[in-house]
């Protein structure tokens, strides 16, 4: 047959199969795979960009260039040519005067457009209700933090002096979303217009200042500008972007998007299983037709060419509407969740659309081609003798290529090889386990079910499974993967929620108090206890710089990437404690006993970055005093819990003679915030950091993540139901034939119903057992290697999954085979035989 005639025949057969409904199941599975992949890709892309904009608020821009002097005008000109907005700020420590009162402050000059990302909130009165503003102080005016008003004994409208410039205070500033983390950012803030900077006469050669140039714009303009900066920015400037800030928010965002990617790939995998089952049923129904074509002279290559052509003809029928449906589903999700999502979500790129189409082609060709290749093995002899179609050797090659393609596609879409491999290994573990356990369990059960005390229904159900082990294996594999996918998704979702809730309880610390003098530690603790303020323990702070590792200077042993870490480029806040700090977990080494000295405990991520291990020695410089200590333990630190955390902790005996200030964190409800006035008056050296906005931002991101998890669970449940439907439809022809014979021999409908239910209950319970094994392995890999969560076995899973499998699959089997039980024997014989 010529290619044109094969194409014409394939088109006619495809058109006929579409009209008759033979391809309905395969099309639904394909549409689901493409729709889910596209919708999650589009929504995840927009959500990640939108949440990235929230994280951008932490630095006030998408890109930030920081240095001790303003950047060259050429850089700002290049930004403008690239279509980016830009603005400048300057920050420096100073003193302001109000009458006879003076106060150390952190002065920040800003110009129009600030901030490019994030927001500034102001109040008409100190500690009063606040609101967002899109303006900055006009020249000659300034805004102060509320804590400065009682310290300077001033009110709104009074005048303060900054350098040689008098500024009138017009607002209380309650929030700068880009508040820096440097030492001077902890001082009370005065915000003024950059146009007043020269009049202050404070900035002189050698002055310690931080100039920040802010840039913001679309990603397609940012990336080329970022690359240009990397080649043209002088070495004494530092380039910051979203990845350099907000460790906790970035990690939460990574976990949310990681779960979205995981759930998307699980849904695609389930859809692929459904496609394979639908293709297997479609191929079995074409055995006789192919045998006739072989008798009429069709070659094996003609049959295979026609099969492949049919698959390609199905693609344009399913993929375009599935892509459109995925887009509508993504837009509908954004519309429904608009009150909880970021105020503005950037438009998604074209990549999720292309990935959705690619997923459809890979899933269809990979999972449907292998069953259809059996048609090439049909011989003309089947017209006279109903011999089974052999499985071609190339089928396993096709399946392998399909899985490799899916793994590669998943890796590309998620950018996370660990996540992809965890999913693949978890699913692959079920394959050999299913084969081994099936033979063992069926043999064990068949002996038990042959006993007289077991009812006839259960004996017949088990005999059907043992008689058709290949079919039982396929169904067990499909059901097990379905239950495993649902269990993994539910367990990951539950553990993520539990960890987030543990990190951000309702009484999470919302204030940090710094610069607590040693003489104020006792009185401040009594002050908080008297007013029932929930507080953490007090931590001493000694500032020191890491200078050497194992006696070698840092610049000699660290590469360029290692030297960029903040812990290497600045003085560290180091504390001492004879007990393991709260919320820290010891992962290597031993904690010291009280009285020991010369030791240090290092945060695990920093240790990994600097290639540190227990037994290394670290050298520090504390204001000219050198100190060398041994690394005796590594700690895992939960940076997202808004409590004091440290890279380095030493024993009390090592650092107690060094001058220190103290800090702690505490929770103060909104209605009690006026107590801060008393606290500031009683402890004027105290520095307060308001964390309410950051906590609210984190909570908002968590709410968005929860909604995403819930939505994906619904999608996975629908995909699981599709697999159940496909599995039942695949075996429906055999059930019709068997039921026709049993009904003709006098078996009652109720007995047939019990037989069907018994078989599916057994399949469900066995599938649940296998799914529990796969789920434990998969969650261990995902938790420990991908999401960086602690993992513990779930014994309840071994009870719930077999029980849930029996109920779910039993109910699905009952509903799916209802037609077999209720149809008359004569009609069953006509349809089945």
Q: What is the mean pLDDT of residues 277-292?
A: 77
| Calpha distance 254→416 (Å, rounded) | 10
Residue 111 reports pLDDT greater than 70:
yes
Mean pLDDT check: name the lowest of 162-171, 434-443, 625-634.
434-443
End-to-end CA distance of the chain: 32
Q: How much of the chain is helix, strand and coil, in % rounded to 5?
A: 60, 15, 25
| Calpha distance 252→267 (Å, rounded) | 23
Residue 614 reports pLDDT greater than 70:
yes
pLDDT at 151: 81
- C-alpha distances out from residue 221 to 41, 63, 78, 85, Å: 22, 11, 11, 11
Cβ pair 210, 92 in contact under 8 A: yes
Of residues 807 and 263, more confidence is placed in 807
pLDDT at 431: 61
| Calpha distance 619→552 (Å, rounded) | 9
Please state, as a whole number, how many other Cβ atoms lie within 10 Å of the Cβ of residue 393: 8
CA-nearest of 200, 179, 187 to 151 is 187
pLDDT at 694: 63
| Calpha distance 761→468 (Å, rounded) | 17
Residue 721 reports pLDDT greater than 50:
yes
Q: What phi and psi values does residue 609 have, to the nearest 5 degrees? A: -65, -40
Q: What is the mean pLDDT of residues 455-481?
A: 66
| Calpha distance 153→149 (Å, rounded) | 6
Share of the chain above pLDDT 70, in %: 69
pLDDT tens digits for range 302-361:
777 887 888 888 888 888 998 998 888 777 767 765 555 555 566 777 878 888 888 888
DSSP 384: T
pLDDT at 248: 47
Q: Kindly report the length of the chain.
A: 833
CA-nearest of 365, 108, 337, 138 to 211 is 108
Residue 451 reports pLDDT greater than 60:
no
Measured N-to-C along each axis, helices 732-744 and 692-730 cross at an angle, to the nearest 10 degrees, of 50
Residue 522 reports pLDDT greater than 70:
yes
| Calpha distance 4→2 (Å, rounded) | 5
Residue 122 reports pLDDT greater than 80:
yes
Residue 640's pLDDT band (cuts 50, 70, 90): low
CA-nearest of 687, 670, 691, 681 to 527 is 681
pLDDT at 616: 93
Q: Spell out the residues 6+ positions from residue 778 whose beta carbon is closer than 8 angstroms to its own.
A: 422, 423, 425, 426, 427, 429, 484, 488
What would the DSSP string read from start to end of 568-610?
Answer: HHS-EEEEE-SSPPTTEEEEEE-PPPTT--SEEEEEHHHHHHT
Q: What is the 3-state secondary structure (H, E, C) of 125-167?
A: CCCCCEEEECCCCCCCEEEECCCHHHHHCCCCCCEEEECCEEE
Residue 620 reports pLDDT greater than 90:
yes
pLDDT at 110: 93
| Calpha distance 92→68 (Å, rounded) | 10
DSSP 389: P
pLDDT tens digits for range 17-73:
777 777 777 888 788 778 877 887 787 777 666 655 655 666 677 888 888 888 888
Q: What is the mean pLDDT of residues 192-217?
A: 85
Residue 183 reports pLDDT greater than 50:
no
ω into 115 cis (within 30 of 0): yes
Q: What is the mean pLDDT of residues 242-260?
A: 54
Parallel, antiparallel, or unpaired for β 648-650 and 85-98?
A: unpaired
Q: What is the mean pLDDT of residues 107-133?
A: 87
Residue 506 reports pLDDT greater than 70:
no
Greatest Cα pair distance in the chain: 112
Of residues 368 and 446, more confidence is placed in 368
Residue 14 reports pLDDT greater than 90:
no
Mean pLDDT check: name the lowest of 124-138, 162-176, 258-272, 300-314.
258-272
Q: What is the mean pLDDT of residues 365-383?
A: 74
What would the DSSP string read from start to end of 240-296?
Answer: EEGGGS-HHHHHHHHHHHHHHHHHHHHHHHHHHHHHHHHHHHHHHTTHHHHHHHHHT
pLDDT at 150: 84
The residue with tokens 């983390």 is 181
DSSP three-state, residue 112: coil
The residue with tokens 């290639």 is 611
Share of the chain above pLDDT 90, in %: 10
Parallel, antiparallel, or unpaired for β 159-162 and 189-193?
A: unpaired
DSSP three-state, residue 613: coil
Residue 829 reports pLDDT greater than 60:
no
Chain mean pLDDT for the chain: 76
| Calpha distance 290→10 (Å, rounded) | 12
Q: What angle do CA 642, 644, 645 make, to 5 degrees?
A: 100
Please state, as a whole number, how many other Cβ atoms lie within 10 Å of the Cβ of residue 576: 22
CA-nearest of 812, 738, 723, 815 to 278 is 723
Of residues 716 and 317, more confidence is placed in 317
pLDDT at 589: 92
Residue 245 reports pLDDT greater than 50:
no
CA-nearest of 144, 83, 139, 74 to 111 is 139
Residue 115 reports pLDDT greater than 80:
yes
Residue 184 reports pLDDT greater than 50:
no
Q: What is the mean pLDDT of residues 677-693?
A: 72
Structure tokens at 578: 């004879």
CA-nearest of 377, 378, 399, 390 to 275 is 399
């Amino acid at each position: 047959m010529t290619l044109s005639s094969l194409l014409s025949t394939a088109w006619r057969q495809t058109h006929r199969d579409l009209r008759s409904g033979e391809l309905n199941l395969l099309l639904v599975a394909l549409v689901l795979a493409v729709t889910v992949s596209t919708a999650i890709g589009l929504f995840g892309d927009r959500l990640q960009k939108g949440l990235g904009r929230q994280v951008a608020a932490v630095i006030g821009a998408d890109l930030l260039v920081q240095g001790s002097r303003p950047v060259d005008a050429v850089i700002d000109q290049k930004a403008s040519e690239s279509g980016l907005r830009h603005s400048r700020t300057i920050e420096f420590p100073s003193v302001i005067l109000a009458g006879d009162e003076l106060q150390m402050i952190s002065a920040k000059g800003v110009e129009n457009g600030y901030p490019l990302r994030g927001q500034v909130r102001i109040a008409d009165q100190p500690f009063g209700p606040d609101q967002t503003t899109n303006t900055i102080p006009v020249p000659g005016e300034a805004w102060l933090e509320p804590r400065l008003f009682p310290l300077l004994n001033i009110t709104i409208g009074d005048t303060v002096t900054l350098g040689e410039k008098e500024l009138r205070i017009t607002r209380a500033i309650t929030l700068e979303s880009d508040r820096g983390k440097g030492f001077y950012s902890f001082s009370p803030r005065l915000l003024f217009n950059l146009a007043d900077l020269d009049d202050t006469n404070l900035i002189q050669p050698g002055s310690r200042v931080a100039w920040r140039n802010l840039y913001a714009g679309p990603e397609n303009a940012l990336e080329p500008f970022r690359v240009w900066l990397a080649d043209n920015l002088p070495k004494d400037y530092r380039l910051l972007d979203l990845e350099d800030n907000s460790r906790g928010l970035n990690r939460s965002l990574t976990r949310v998007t990681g779960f979205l990617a995981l759930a998307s790939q699980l849904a695609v995998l389930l859809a692929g299983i459904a496609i394979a089952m639908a293709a297997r049923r479609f191929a079995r129904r074409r055995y006789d037709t192919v045998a006739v074509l072989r008798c009429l002279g069709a070659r094996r290559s003609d049959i295979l060419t026609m099969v492949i052509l049919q698959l390609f003809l199905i693609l344009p029928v399913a993929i375009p509407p599935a892509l459109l449906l995925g887009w509508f589903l993504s837009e509908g999700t954004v519309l429904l969740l608009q009150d909880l999502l970021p105020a503005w979500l950037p438009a998604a790129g074209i990549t999720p659309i292309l990935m959705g189409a690619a997923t459809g082609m890979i899933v269809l060709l990979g999972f449907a081609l292998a069953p259809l290749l059996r048609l090439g093995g049909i011989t003309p002899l089947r017209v006279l003798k109903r011999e089974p179609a052999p499985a071609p050797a190339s089928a396993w090659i096709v399946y392998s290529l399909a899985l490799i393609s899916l793994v590669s596609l998943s890796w590309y879409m998620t950018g996370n090889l660990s996540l992809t491999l965890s999913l693949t290994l978890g699913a692959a573990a079920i394959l050999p386990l299913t084969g081994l356990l099936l033979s063992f369990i069926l043999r064990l059960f068949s002996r038990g079910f042959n006993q007289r005390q077991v009812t006839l229904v259960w004996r017949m159900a088990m005999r059907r499974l043992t008689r058709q082990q290949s079919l039982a294996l396929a169904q067990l594999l499909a059901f097990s993967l379905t239950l495993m996918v649902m269990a993994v998704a539910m367990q990951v979702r539950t553990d993520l929620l539990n960890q987030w809730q543990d990190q951000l309880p309702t009484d999470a610390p919302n204030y940090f108090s710094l610069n607590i003098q040693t003489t104020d530690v006792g009185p401040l603790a009594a002050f908080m206890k008297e007013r029932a303020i929930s507080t953490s323990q007090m931590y001493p702070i000694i500032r020191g710089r890491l200078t050497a590792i194992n006696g070698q200077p840092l610049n000699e042993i660290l590469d360029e990437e290692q030297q960029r870490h903040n812990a290497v480029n600045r003085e560290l806040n180091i504390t001492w404690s004879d007990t393991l700090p709260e919320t820290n977990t010891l992962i290597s080494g031993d904690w010291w006993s009280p009285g020991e000295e010369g030791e240090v405990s290092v945060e695990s991520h920093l240790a990994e970055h600097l290639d540190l291990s227990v037994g290394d020695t670290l050298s520090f410089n504390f204001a000219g005093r050198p100190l060398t200590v041994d690394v005796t333990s590594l700690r895992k630190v939960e940076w997202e819990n808004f409590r004091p955390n440290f890279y380095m902790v030493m024993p009390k005996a090592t650092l107690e003679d060094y001058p220190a200030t103290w800090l702690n964190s505490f929770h103060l409800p909104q209605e009690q915030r006026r107590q801060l006035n008393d606290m500031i008056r009683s402890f004027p050296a105290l520095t307060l950091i308001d964390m309410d906005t950051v906590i609210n931002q984190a909570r908002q991101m968590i709410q968005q993540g929860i909604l995403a998890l819930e939505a994906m669970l619904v999608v996975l449940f629908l995909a699981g139901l599709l697999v159940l439907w496909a599995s039942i439809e695949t075996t429906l022809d055999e059930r019709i034939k068997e039921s026709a014979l049993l009904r003709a021999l006098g078996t009652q409908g109720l007995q047939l119903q019990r037989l069907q239910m018994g078989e599916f209950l057994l399949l469900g319970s066995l599938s649940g057992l296998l799914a529990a094994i796969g789920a434990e392995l998969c969650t261990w890999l995902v938790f420990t290697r991908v999401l960086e969560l602690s993992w513990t076995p779930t014994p309840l899973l071994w009870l719930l999954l077999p029980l849930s499998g029996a109920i779910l699959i039993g109910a699905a089997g009952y509903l799916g085979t209802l037609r077999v039980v209720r149809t008359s024997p004569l009609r069953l014989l006509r349809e089945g035989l």
